Chain A
Amino acid sequence: MSQFETVIGLEVHLQLSTKTKIFCSCANQYGCAPNTNVCPVCLGLPGTLPVLNHQALLYGIKVGLALNAEINSFIKFDRKNYYYPDLPKCYQISQYDFPVAKHGFLKIKSGKEEKRIGITRAHLEEDAGKLIHDNSASCSLVDCNRCGTPLIEIVTEPDLRSPQEAYDYLNTLKLTLQYLGVSDCDMEKGSLRCDANVSIRPTGQTTLGTKTELKNMNSFRAVKTALEYEVRRHEQVILAGGKVMQETLLWNDEKATTITMRSKEKAHDYRYFPDPDLVPFTIDSKVIDDVRAELPELPQAKFLRFLSEYALSEYDANILVADVGMADFFEASLKVYPQAKKIANWLAGPVLMELNNRKKSIGELKLTPKDLTSLIAKVEDGLVSNLVGKEVLTAMLDESKSAEDVIKEKGLAQVSDDSSLFVIIDEVIVQNPAVVEQIKSGKPNAIGFLVGQAMKKSGGRANPKKLSELINRRISGV
Chain B
Amino acid sequence: MSLHQLTAHALLDLLKSRQTSPKEAYSAVLERIKAVDPKVKAYIHLSHQEPDFSGQMPIPIAIKDNLCTKAEEVTCASRILKGFVSPYDAGVIEKVKKSGGAILGIVNMDEFAFGSSCETSCYGPTFNPWNLQCVPGGSSGGSAASVAADEAMWALGSDTGGSIRQPASFCGIVGLKPTYGRVSRYGLIAFASSLDQIGPLTKDVRDCALLMNIISGYDERDSTSVNAPVPDYTKALVNDVRGLKIGIPKEAFVEGLDPEVRRSVEEALNLLKKLGAVIKEVSLPHTPYAVATYYIVATAEASSNLARFDGVRYGLRVQPAHVRKNALVDMYEETRSKGFGDEAKRRIMLGTYALSSGYYDAYYLRGQKVRTLIKNDLDQVFKDCDVIMTPTSPTVAFKVGEKISDPLSMYLSDIYTIPANLAGIPAISIPCGFAKSGLPIGLQLMGRAFDEEMLLRISYTYEQNTEWHSKKPNL
Partners in one complex: yes
Interface residues of A (CB under 8 A from B): 40, 43-52, 79, 81, 83, 85, 88-91, 140, 142, 144, 267, 269, 271-273, 276-279
Q: Which of B68, B88, B301 contacts A276 (CB 8 A)?
A: B301
A273 CA to B305 CA in the complex, in Å?
Answer: 12
* B304-A47 in contact (CB<8A): no
Instruction: Report the minimum CB–CB distance from A412 to chain B (whole Å).
Output: 62
Stretch binding the partner chain, chosen from B149-157, B188-196, B285-293: B188-196
B455 proximal to A (CB < 8 A): no
Given contacts A83-B332, A88-B312, 14 further A-B contacts (CB under 8 A): A45-B87, A46-B74, A46-B76, A46-B189, A46-B309, A47-B67, A47-B189, A49-B222, A49-B224, A81-B307, A83-B307, A91-B307, A276-B194, A277-B193
Residues from chain A with Cβ under 8 Å of B186 in the complex: 47-49
* B223-A273 in contact (CB<8A): no
Residues from chain B with Cβ under 8 Å of A90 in the complex: 307-308, 310
Residues from chain A with Cβ under 8 Å of B402 in the complex: none
B356 proximal to A (CB < 8 A): yes
* B224-A89 in contact (CB<8A): no
**CB pairs A–B below 8 angstroms (9 shown):** A43-B313, A46-B309, A51-B221, A81-B355, A88-B308, A271-B360, A276-B224, A277-B193, A279-B224
A52 CA to B220 CA in the complex, in Å?
Answer: 11
Which B172-226 residues have a C-beta within 8 angstroms of A? 185-190, 192-194, 220-224
* B190-A89 in contact (CB<8A): no
A43 CA to B90 CA in the complex, in Å?
Answer: 16
* A276-B312 in contact (CB<8A): no
* A91-B304 in contact (CB<8A): yes
Residues from chain B with Cβ under 8 Å of A85 in the complex: 312, 328
Which residue from chain A places its CB closest to the CB of B195 in the assembled complex?
Answer: A276
Residues from chain B with Cβ under 8 Å of A44 in the complex: 308, 313
* A89-B220 in contact (CB<8A): no
Instruction: Report the minimum CB–CB distance from A337 to chain B (whole Å).
Output: 51
Given contacts A47-B68, A85-B328, A276-B194, contact A269 B74 (CB under 8 A): no
Q: Which of B76, B88, B223 contacts A52 (CB 8 A)?
A: B223
Instruction: Report the minimum CB–CB distance from A280 to chain B (whole Å).
Output: 10
Instruction: Report the minimum CB–CB distance from A21 to chain B (whole Å).
Output: 14
Q: How large is the interface on B (under 10, 10 to 19, 20 to 34, 35 or more residues)?
A: 35 or more
B123 proximal to A (CB < 8 A): no
Instruction: Report the minimum CB–CB distance from B287 to chain A (whole Å).
Output: 22
Residues from chain B with Cβ under 8 Å of A47 in the complex: 66-68, 86, 90, 186-190
Instruction: Report the minimum CB–CB distance from B412 to chain A (whole Å).
Output: 25
Pairs A-B, 5 closest by C-beta atoms: A90-B307, A276-B193, A271-B355, A276-B194, A46-B189
The number of A-B residue pairs with CB atoms under 8 Å apart is: 95
Residues from chain A with Cβ under 8 Å of B76 in the complex: 46
* B223-A45 in contact (CB<8A): no
* B88-A40 in contact (CB<8A): yes
Residues from chain A with Cβ under 8 Å of B189 in the complex: 46-47
Residues from chain B with Cβ under 8 Å of A142 in the complex: 312-313
* A51-B220 in contact (CB<8A): yes
Interface residues of B (CB under 8 A from A): 66-68, 74, 76, 81, 84, 86-88, 90, 185-190, 192-194, 220-224, 300-301, 304, 307-310, 312-314, 328, 332, 352, 355-357, 360, 364
Residues from chain A with Cβ under 8 Å of B90 in the complex: 47
Residues from chain A with Cβ under 8 Å of B194 in the complex: 276
Residues from chain A with Cβ under 8 Å of B308 in the complex: 44, 46, 88-90
A181 CA to B170 CA in the complex, in Å?
Answer: 61
Which residue from chain A places its CB closest to the CB of B192 in the assembled complex?
Answer: A276
A83 CA to B90 CA in the complex, in Å?
Answer: 26
Given contacts A46-B308, A49-B222, A49-B223, contact A271 B313 (CB under 8 A): no
* B360-A273 in contact (CB<8A): yes
A277 CA to B194 CA in the complex, in Å?
Answer: 7
Which residue from chain A places its CB closest to the CB of B225 in the assembled complex?
Answer: A49
Residues from chain B with Cβ under 8 Å of A278 in the complex: 223
Instruction: Report the minimum CB–CB distance from B343 to chain A (whole Å).
Output: 18
Which residue from chain A places its CB closest to the CB of B352 in the assembled complex?
Answer: A271
Given contacts A83-B332, A85-B328, contact A267 B357 (CB under 8 A): yes
Instruction: Report the minimum CB–CB distance from A26 to chain B (whole Å).
Output: 13
* B223-A279 in contact (CB<8A): yes
Instruction: Report the minimum CB–CB distance from A122 to chain B (whole Å).
Output: 22
* B87-A273 in contact (CB<8A): no
Residues from chain B with Cβ under 8 Å of A140 in the complex: 328
A44 CA to B315 CA in the complex, in Å?
Answer: 13
Given contacts A46-B74, A83-B310, contact A273 B224 (CB under 8 A): no
Which residue from chain A places its CB closest to the CB of B222 in the assembled complex?
Answer: A49
Residues from chain B with Cβ under 8 Å of A83 in the complex: 307, 310, 332
* A49-B185 in contact (CB<8A): yes
Which residue from chain B places its CB closest to the CB of A139 in the assembled complex?
Answer: B327
* B310-A269 in contact (CB<8A): no
* A46-B81 in contact (CB<8A): yes
Instruction: Report the minimum CB–CB distance from B88 to chain A (whole Å).
Output: 5
A144 CA to B357 CA in the complex, in Å?
Answer: 30
* B223-A50 in contact (CB<8A): yes
Instruction: Report the minimum CB–CB distance from B321 to chain A (whole Å).
Output: 16
A272 CA to B357 CA in the complex, in Å?
Answer: 9
Which residue from chain B places its CB closest to the CB of A52 in the assembled complex?
Answer: B223
* A269-B68 in contact (CB<8A): no
Instruction: Report the minimum CB–CB distance from B306 to chain A (whole Å).
Output: 9
Given contacts A47-B187, A273-B360, contact A81 B304 (CB under 8 A): yes
Residues from chain A with Cβ under 8 Å of B86 in the complex: 45-47
Residues from chain B with Cβ under 8 Å of A89 in the complex: 307-308
Instruction: Report the minimum CB–CB distance from A282 to chain B (whole Å).
Output: 15
A43 CA to B84 CA in the complex, in Å?
Answer: 14
Instruction: Report the minimum CB–CB distance from B162 to chain A (whole Å).
Output: 19
A51 CA to B223 CA in the complex, in Å?
Answer: 6
Residues from chain A with Cβ under 8 Å of B313 in the complex: 43-44, 88, 142, 144
Residues from chain A with Cβ under 8 Å of B74 in the complex: 46
Residues from chain A with Cβ under 8 Å of B307 in the complex: 81, 83, 89-91
A272 CA to B358 CA in the complex, in Å?
Answer: 12
Residues from chain A with Cβ under 8 Å of B304 in the complex: 79, 81, 91, 271, 273
* B355-A45 in contact (CB<8A): no
A276 CA to B160 CA in the complex, in Å?
Answer: 14
Residues from chain A with Cβ under 8 Å of B300 in the complex: 273
Given contacts A85-B328, A276-B194, contact A269 B357 (CB under 8 A): yes
Which residue from chain A places its CB closest to the CB of B75 in the assembled complex?
Answer: A46
A278 CA to B300 CA in the complex, in Å?
Answer: 16
Q: Which of A51, A267, A273 contacts B364 (CB 8 A)?
A: A273
Residues from chain A with Cβ under 8 Å of B224 in the complex: 49, 276-277, 279
Residues from chain A with Cβ under 8 Å of B357 in the complex: 267, 269, 271
* B187-A269 in contact (CB<8A): no
Which residue from chain A places its CB closest to the CB of B81 in the assembled complex?
Answer: A46
A15 CA to B46 CA in the complex, in Å?
Answer: 46
A51 CA to B227 CA in the complex, in Å?
Answer: 14
Instruction: Report the minimum CB–CB distance from B16 to chain A (whole Å).
Output: 35
Instruction: Report the minimum CB–CB distance from B220 to chain A (whole Å).
Output: 7
Given contacts A267-B357, A273-B304, contact A46 B68 (CB under 8 A): yes
Residues from chain B with Cβ under 8 Å of A49 in the complex: 185-186, 221-224
A426 CA to B292 CA in the complex, in Å?
Answer: 110
Instruction: Report the minimum CB–CB distance from B421 to chain A (whole Å).
Output: 12
Given contacts A50-B223, A83-B332, contact A273 B314 (CB under 8 A): no
A344 CA to B185 CA in the complex, in Å?
Answer: 59
Which residue from chain A places its CB closest to the CB of B186 in the assembled complex?
Answer: A49
